[in-house]
């Protein structure tokens, strides 16, 4: 039984939500060929793309700014004209095209001065953290470096789409960090996402770290990890620098755990999946196996030499 166009669009949306880092446009191109209806595809997957961009913390260029704006659920604002995204650095919200990622229609979105002091301090500390640990540093003599970017943002309380939580007096600050790397020449892409909720009144920081990697040379291997740490703050008057140091310590521990797991898989599970080399210690040319066998048969039927 063939699928209806609506069912195909629903399936297309699910594929979009599962797109690997940096490959959503490739997924859309393939879906266009399958669906053969650009208008229906774009209309059907727009919502899925909005969810994907916010969930993946996609970073976009802001007109007139040197930094990238992070699309985050914490900065999503519902208006009469649709979804807008807050750039807390310049207290402005924008419309972002979910397909092209073009940023337009700026509108002021003032942040109360009572929030901006702590928010600015958090942003400054987070910027330094991003520069030291996530911004790509070109290596001398590297002819083909990986593409990618890194961005961060601090969203104050009462800003996101959950206005009811804001009305209840939520004092949760949201810090987003995203770093993406793409190297299509070597068939891989990856993304690090860190979502941190800082609640000084409760002396708590809650984290949600996700790592996604895709390797697709002659295959399709994907890695998805998630880590949800909780950090206790020493006091309600903790400084932004102290918070970022605690975050760095937690992320460094997680990074060490990932490295340990990869080394364990390399020396254990993956080794069991490898083919054993033949006695020649060289890789078998499977296209020539039939020729090898034929040669052996011919050698076996050859008459022995006559003694003189």
Helix pair angle (24-35, 5-17), 10° resolution: 170
Q: What value does the mean pLDDT take over residues 218-230?
A: 92
**CA dihedral for 157, 158, 161, 164, sign (positive or negative):** positive
pLDDT higher than threshold 80 for residue 238: yes
Instruction: Give the lowest-confidence range in 115-129, 205-219, 257-271, 272-286.
Output: 272-286
What domains sit in the chain, N to C, each tagged with a CATH number? 1-52 (3.30.1140.60), 113-267 (3.90.1150.210)
Share the mean pLDDT of the chain: 85
Confidence label for 8 from pLDDT (cuts 50, 70 and 90): confident
Confidence label for 23 from pLDDT (cuts 50, 70 and 90): very high
**CA dihedral for 176, 65, 21, 32, sign (positive or negative):** positive
Query: Cα separation of 204 and 195, whole Å?
Result: 14
The model's pLDDT over 92-104, given as tens digits with 9 standing for 90+, comes to 999 999 999 999 9
In this prediction, residue 123 carries a pLDDT of 96
In this prediction, residue 48 carries a pLDDT of 94
Confidence label for 37 from pLDDT (cuts 50, 70 and 90): confident
Neighbours of 291 (CB within 10 A): 10
Q: Which residue has the tokens 């997680």?
A: 254
In this prediction, residue 155 carries a pLDDT of 96
Task: Select from 176, 125, 178, 169 the least CA-distant residue to 148.
Answer: 178
Query: Cα separation of 216 and 211, whole Å?
Result: 17
Q: Tell me the CB-side half-sphere exposure of residue 233, using CA atoms within 13 A.
A: 20
In this prediction, residue 77 carries a pLDDT of 93
In this prediction, residue 163 carries a pLDDT of 42
In this prediction, residue 236 carries a pLDDT of 87
Neighbours of 84 (CB within 10 A): 20
In this prediction, residue 290 carries a pLDDT of 62
pLDDT higher than threshold 90 for residue 294: no
182 vs 146, higher pLDDT? 182
In this prediction, residue 96 carries a pLDDT of 97
In this prediction, residue 169 carries a pLDDT of 44
Query: Cα separation of 255 and 22, whole Å?
Result: 22
The model's pLDDT over 148-195, given as tens digits with 9 standing for 90+, comes to 889 999 999 965 444 444 433 458 999 999 999 999 999 999 999 999
Query: Cα separation of 68 and 62, whole Å?
Result: 6
The model's pLDDT over 61-106, given as tens digits with 9 standing for 90+, comes to 999 999 999 999 999 998 888 899 999 999 999 999 999 999 999 9
In this prediction, residue 267 carries a pLDDT of 67
Query: Cα separation of 128 and 241, whole Å?
Result: 10
In this prediction, residue 262 carries a pLDDT of 81
Please state the pTM of the whole predicted model: 0.80
Q: How far apart are the first and last CA of the chain?
A: 78
In this prediction, residue 307 carries a pLDDT of 55
pLDDT higher than threshold 90 for residue 209: yes
289 vs 134, higher pLDDT? 134
Task: Dig out the tokens for 248 from the structure.
Answer: 């760095």
305 vs 175, higher pLDDT? 175
């Amino acid at each position: 039984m063939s699928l209806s166009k609506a069912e195909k669009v629903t399936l297309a949306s699910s594929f979009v939500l599962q797109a690997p880092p940096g490959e959503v446009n490739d997924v859309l191109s393939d879906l266009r060929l399958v669906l053969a209806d650009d208008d229906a595809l774009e209309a059907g997957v727009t919502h899925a793309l909005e969810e994907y961009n916010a969930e993946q913390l996609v970073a976009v260029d802001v007109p007139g700014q040197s930094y990238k704006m992070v699309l985050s659920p914490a900065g999503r604002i519902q208006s009469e004209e649709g979804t807008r995204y807050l750039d807390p650095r310049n207290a402005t919200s924008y419309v972002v095209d979910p397909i092209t990622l073009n940023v337009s229609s700026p509108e002021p979105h003032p942040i109360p001065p009572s929030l901006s002091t702590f928010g600015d301090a958090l942003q400054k500390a987070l910027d330094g953290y991003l520069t030291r640990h996530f911004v790509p540093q070109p290596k001398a003599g590297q002819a083909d470096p990986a593409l990618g970017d890194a961005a961060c943002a601090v969203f104050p309380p009462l800003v996101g789409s959950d206005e009811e939580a804001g009305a209840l007096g939520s004092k949760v600050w949201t810090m987003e960090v995203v770093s993406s790397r793409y190297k299509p020449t070597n068939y891989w892409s990856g993304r690090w996402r860190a979502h941190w909720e800082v609640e000084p009144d409760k002396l708590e920081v809650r984290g949600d770290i996700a790592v996604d990697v895709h390797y697709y040379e002659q295959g399709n291997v994907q890695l998805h990890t998630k880590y949800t740490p909780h950090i206790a703050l020493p006091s309600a008057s903790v400084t932004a620098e102290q918070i970022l140091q605690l975050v760095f310590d937690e992320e460094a521990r997680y990074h060490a755990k990932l490295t340990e797991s990869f080394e364990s898989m390399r020396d254990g599970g993956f080794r069991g999946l490898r083919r054993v080399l033949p006695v020649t210690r060289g890789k078998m040319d499977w296209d020539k196996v039939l020729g090898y066998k034929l040669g052996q048969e011919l050698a076996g039927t050859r008459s022995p030499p006559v003694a003189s």
